[in-house]
Structure 1
Amino acid sequence: MNLFLELRKHGKLAEKRHPMYEKSKFGKFWMYFMSVFWAGYLIFFGTTFAFAFDGGAKEAYHVMNSGLVFILALDFLLRLPFLKTPTQEVKPYLLLPVKRNRLIDFLLLRSGLNSFNLFWLFLFVPFAIITVTKFYGVTGVVTYCIGIWLLIIFNNYWYLLCRTLMDERIWWFLLPVAVYGGIAAALFIPDNSPLFALSIDLGEGFITGNLLIFAGTLVAIAIMCLINRSIMQKLIYNELNKVEDTTVQVKSVSEYKFLDRYGEIGEYIRLELKLLLRNKVCKKSLYSITAVVLMFSLIISFSDLYDGGMRDFFVLYNYIIFGILFLSPLMSYEGNYIDGLMSRRESIYSLLRAKYILYSLALIIPFVLMIPGMVTGRVSVLTCVSWLVFVPGAVYCCLFQLAVYNNKTLDLNAKMTGRQNVGTGLQNLISGGAFGVPLLLLFALKATVGKEVAPWILIAIGILFIATSRWWLRNVYYRFMKRRYKNMEGFHDSRQK
């Protein structure tokens, strides 16, 4: 316990001494605001579900419990852009007389106690108060919420396992795909799937305080922790001791000759493509997010799993996730070679334009993947076009402002022990706002002008920002140059030694 408290204290001191701490304080207020917004969103849904599920053949909490697997799957997907593996804190302590196993145990314990694991209670607490209290009283609400919290913790460790393996080998994304695909097949292919009954019994056990159910959940959490511990220990050892995979051979190297015709902008687009496709961290992230977008597109196009507001959320997710993943740390990867970039006049401006063009063109990928949904009528063509225009316009304008303030170098190859996974308050603010504000704007427009006119307004806003992109990109460049010495100092100080 003393080690846990001491390392927790060290983590708080490291955050305060971080060069981005002052900007994090600025972003924390807005990050708290977005947290309150999403908490209110979940409370609204929890209350709505309580009344919507009431009055049927089954009790409302039985209906909710039958869908627990969908909540866990959604929780898994929402963690992908926001939560990384927690192993970056191991490296500074390896020279101290502290066992590596104890360090990993601390990281896993801290991950289980992360406040992110409590967020779903904003959905379940109001739901339970309305539906469970009248049969089982306050005790049933408390035990039910504790059980849900334990399920989310189990899901957290399951996510860490998958994320750790995917960071090591991208093909491990087939593991969660196979698991969730198998669960979906077991749920929907049989006429009366026993999994629904098992899910209902699990929730019922939480409500009634069944000790066997709680003990089984705790054992499952412990097993998942042990698996994570074993794998993380092995991978951290391999990375720190520079154990390379000699079986991988480079068969061909593309120089992207077709970009020569675009001059300096083409050169920086080529640089960005090499950054994404030749470095471990960027390449794994790119492949993982592409797989997630493909899976979301298939689910939205061929199932009724997400309807109404949730469908709008996940359609926007498909369009915005690439930008959030690679533009929220804007200039941080370039911190590894920022001195070379600063040696040429206006090279940063050209780099910003190249990034804007490349990531705007990348939105064609989710648009193409959504074509089956447009054909089946589950997503309107106008909605997809509106996000295709609005995201590179208004949303990217906000994300590119981070280029002025980011001054932390992110390692391109350290997957397990690098500190690149620690986001700042400002980055978290922009990432959360990139999801919340467009959705809020869409709902407001639908309520005021109607769902037919709302996409056209989004298109008009997007076109306005795209048409003025040269102006606001140059503004970002000028502000970056005013801070260039402070930023370069931060880039130098935060490089991996």
Structure 2
Amino acid sequence: MLLTLLTHQWKADVRSSVFQKGLALNIIMGLLILYFGGIFLFLGFNIDDILLKVFPSQDPVAVFNGGMLYYFLMDLFFRFMLQEMPVLAVQPYLHLPVGKNRLVHFVLVKSVFSFLNVLPLLFMVPFMVSAVVPAYGAGVASVWLLALVALTLFNNFVLLYFKRQLAAKPLYTLAFGVVVSAVMLLDYFDLLSLNVASRAAFGQLLLQPWLVAVPLLLVAVAYTFNFRFLKEHTYPEELQVRKATKVSGSNIAFLSRFGEIGKLIELELKLIWRNKRPKSTLVMSAFILFYGVIFYKEPYMDGYAMLIFVGLMMTGMAMFSYGQFVPGWQSTHFDALLTQRISIYQFLKAKYWMFLAVTLFAYLITLPYGLLGYKILIINTVALLYNIGVNVFIIFYFSAYNTSRLDLSRGSAFNWQGVGASKFVMMLPLIIIPLLIYMPFGLMDVPYVGLATIGGLGLLGLIFQKQLLQWSARWFMKHKYKLATGFRQSE
């Protein structure tokens, strides 16, 4: 049955229009995977020499073990941002003599082969061969690697479980995030040393290999929770699809995977590409990415407030500059938009995911600045979280007051159409509020607590993004007729 399900999944993927239209994209993604895979392989075979140079008086294996808990905490964060939910069209199988348990097991086992699970092996296995095997033997090294793989899968199943709980029981996910944040804060205040705990745990594993049973048990528990949750939600009455609203047109292959939201994003991308005003707005905002060249030097590097400002601007300027005119970009056809079977929630959700993508991309572009100091990397990560968890909803709030019509055929340089006092008022809280949040902690000389508070607010916004989007949609609904009237009257 497993082979049959795999065959069906393979045929569904290969025969889909998404696969056929996105062949070039798939080739590019394959090349990127090979590129980053090569980097990780090189790192894996040379990391023991690197650790010897950085920590000349310490055992490379012990240093590596000391960083494992930090790695798995970072892994949780990136999985929350990037990991997709494994899915299977279950309905066609429910009336067939196929056990529900088998269907659920297939969905869960399918997630094991995620790129996020395979990538760590590209540096863990070479490090095991080059450093752990010579010191402890092949048998113990294999058990050590098995423990790391088990913890990777534990992260996989834990994140899948809490992301599934996010819609129905967001407090569960919030509690999980609070626990992870608390552990990191305890480490910061030296109440709990993750480095010492990590060295002790994985070092003990090398001395007593039977302890591999602990991570294996954790995987089994996480798998069981996922299994029970999925099994309880695969009844036909729970799989009924709500009456979906339709959006016409979708030619960008990979966006088709995201349904109506993907089609709305595609229409927005076409609007940007075909018109001068939105295109030039985004191009001009890209120059802010070079802010680091100006500010990442003395005397700015000694403080935090200026670096927070720079981080917010570099990661969020594209969102700020484009978002300040929402929904003015649709002003010429706003009346037609209101007549379509598109909910305001869908309209805002499409913009939310587009803003999230462009902000995350800007953050990735700024990562090389982290070579100038770890403080930059931490602050930019905090700025990213705050922008996509808080600032995006501030933009949606002020968008209900944007009644100025835009001429998209004109560029943004020296074009003041639609620009008014309300735009500057909107920009102030985007920057000033996080600085005000940080201020008392800066005065008390606990800057990292201030950064954790700003980042925590952003993380809360991400966790409750569905509820915040629903609230934004209700707020927008109250003003949609004022917006329509304003767009008709303004020129």
User: What TM-score comes out, normalization by structure 1 length?
Assistant: 0.51
> Residue 15 of structure 1: CA displacement?
0.5
Letter of the 1:7 partner, please give it.
L
Q: Closer, same or farther in 2 for the Cα pair 1:13/1:351, shift >3 Å?
A: same
Look up the equivalent residue of 1:203 and give its one-letter code.
Answer: F
CA contact (8 A) 1:125 1:141 kept: no
Instruction: Quote the residue 1:488 is aligned against.
Output: none
8 A contact 1:86–1:111 mirrored in 2: yes
Give 1:127 deviation, angstroms.
3.1
Q: Quick check: 114-123 or 348-357, which moved more?
A: 348-357
Q: Does 1:210 align with 2:186?
A: no
- Structure 1: segments with no counterpart, 5+ residues: 245-278, 281-325, 394-410, 413-426, 447-468, 473-497
AA in 2 matched with 1:16: V
Distance in 1 separating the partners of 2:89 and 2:159 = 19
Identify if the C-alpha distance between structure 1 residues 96 and 373 changes in structure 2 by more than 3 Å, giving closer, same or farther: farther
| Number of positions where the alignment pairs a residue of Structure 1 with one of Structure 2 | 320
Residue 112 of structure 2 corresponds to which residue in structure 1?
112
Equivalent position of 1:4 in the other structure: 2
- Are the equivalent residues in 1 in contact too, given 2:88–2:107 (CA < 8 A)? no
Supply the distance in 1 between the matched residues of 2:206 and 2:309 (Cα, whole angstroms).
Answer: 44
Report the equivalent of 2:232: 234
Secondary structure (helix, strand or coil) at the match of 2:166 reads helix
Residue in structure 1 matched with residue 166 of structure 2 by the alignment: 166
Residues 35-74 of structure 1 aligned to structure 2 (within 5 Å): 35-46=33-44, 49-54=47-52, 55-56=55-56, 58-74=58-74
Alignment of 1:133-148 (within 5 A): 133-148=133-148
> 2:69 touches 2:198 (CA, 8 Å); kept in 1?
yes
Aligned to 1:423: none
Alpha-carbon distance, 1:384 to partner: 5.5
How far 1:128 sits from its partner (Å)?
3.1
CA distance in 2, matches of 1:56, 1:187: 25
Q: What amino acid is aligned across from residue 202 of structure 1 in structure 2?
A: A
1:327-338 to structure 2, matched below 5 A, reads 329=255, 333-334=259-260
Flag the 1:131–1:379 CA change in 2: closer, same or farther, 3 A: farther
Residues in 1 aligned to 2:302 and 2:213: alpha-carbon distance in whole angstroms: 46
The DSSP-based 3-state class of the residue aligned with 1:89 is coil
Quote the offset at 1:159 in angstroms: 0.8
Tell whether the 8 Å contact from 2:61 to 2:132 is kept in structure 1 after alignment: yes
Aligned to 1:182: 182
Matches of 1:19 and 1:112, distance apart in 2: 26
Aligned partners of 2:140 and 2:209 also within 8 Å: no
Counterpart of 2:154 in structure 1 is 154
Structure 2 runs not aligned, ≥5 long: 246-251, 322-341, 344-353, 373-407, 412-491
Change (3 A) 1:356 1:178: farther
Q: CA deviation at 1:98?
A: 1.7
- One-letter amino acid of the structure 2 residue matched with residue 179 of structure 1: V
Displacement of 1:389 in angstroms is: 5.3
Rounded to whole Å, the distance in 1 between the matches of 2:48 and 2:169 is 42
**Separation in 2 of the partners of 1:336 and 1:46?**
38
Pick closer, same or farther for the CA change 1:470–1:203 going to 2, 3 Å: farther
Structure 1 partner of 2:199: 200
Q: Distance in 1 between matches of 2:184 and 2:253?
A: 34
- The alignment partner of 2:82 has SS state of coil
Q: Distance in 2 between matches of 1:11 and 1:140?
A: 38
Are positions 1:89 and 2:89 aligned together?
A: yes
With structure 2 as the length reference, what TM-score do the two structures score?
Answer: 0.52
The answer on whether the counterparts of 2:13 and 2:19 sit within 8 Å (CA) in structure 1 is yes
Q: Deviations 1:200-238 (Å, cap 9, x if unpaired)?
A: 243235545712x22222221111111111122223448
User: What is the CA-CA distance between 1:12 and the residue it aligns to?
Assistant: 0.3
**SS of 2:6 mapped into structure 1:** helix
Aligned 8 A contact 2:65 2:199 in 1: yes
Q: Highest CA radius of gyration, 1 or 2?
A: 2
Structure 1 position 220 matched with structure 2 position 146 = no
Cα distance between partner residues in 2 of 1:101 and 1:168: 22
Paired residues of 1:117 and 1:153 also in contact (CA < 8 A): yes
Supply the AA of the counterpart residue of 2:227.
R
Change beyond 3 A, Cα 1:92–1:206: farther
- Give CA-to-partner distance per residue, 1:123-156, whole Å, 9 cap, x none: 3233334432431244444333232111101111
Change (3 A) 1:347 1:35: closer
Q: Distance in 2 between matches of 1:178 and 1:81?
A: 17
Do the aligned residues in 1 keep the contact of 2:301 with 2:307 (CA within 8 Å)?
yes
Measure the CA separation in 2 of the matches of 1:192 and 1:337.
48
CA contact (8 A) 1:34 1:436 kept: no
When residues 388 and 155 of structure 1 are mapped into structure 2, their CA distance, relative to the original with a 3 A threshold, is closer
Distance 1:11 1:134 in 2: 42
- For the 8 Å contact 2:48–2:130, the answer to whether it is kept is yes
Check 1:43–1:222 CA distance in 2 against 1; reply closer, same or farther (3 A cut).
Answer: same
- The answer for the alignment partner of 2:416 in structure 1 is none
Equivalent residue runs for 1:287-298 within 5 Å: none
Q: Deviations over 1:40-78 (max 9, x none)?
A: 343455456433433455422222222222211222222
How far apart in 1 are the matches of 2:366 and 2:7?
A: 37
Deviation of the 1:375 alpha carbon:
5.6
Q: Which residue of 1 aligns with 2:442?
A: none
C-alpha contact (below 8 Å) 1:84/1:163 kept by paired residues: no
Contact 1:104/1:233 (<8 A) preserved: yes
Identity %: 18
Paired amino acid for 1:145: L
| Equivalent residue number for residue 399 of structure 2 | none
Matched residue, 2:304: 376
Which segment drifts farther, 121-130 or 374-383? Answer: 374-383
Q: Is the 8 A contact 1:166 1:172 kept in 2?
A: yes
CA–CA distance in structure 1, aligned partners of residues 145 and 259 of structure 2: 41
Cα 1:115–1:142, aligned 2, differ >3 Å: closer, same or farther? farther
Per-residue Cα deviation, 1:264-323 (whole angstroms, up to 9, x for no partner): xxxxxxxxxxxxxxx99xxxxxxxxxxxxxxxxxxxxxxxxxxxxxxxxxxxxxxxxxxx
2:28 alignment partner in structure 1: 30
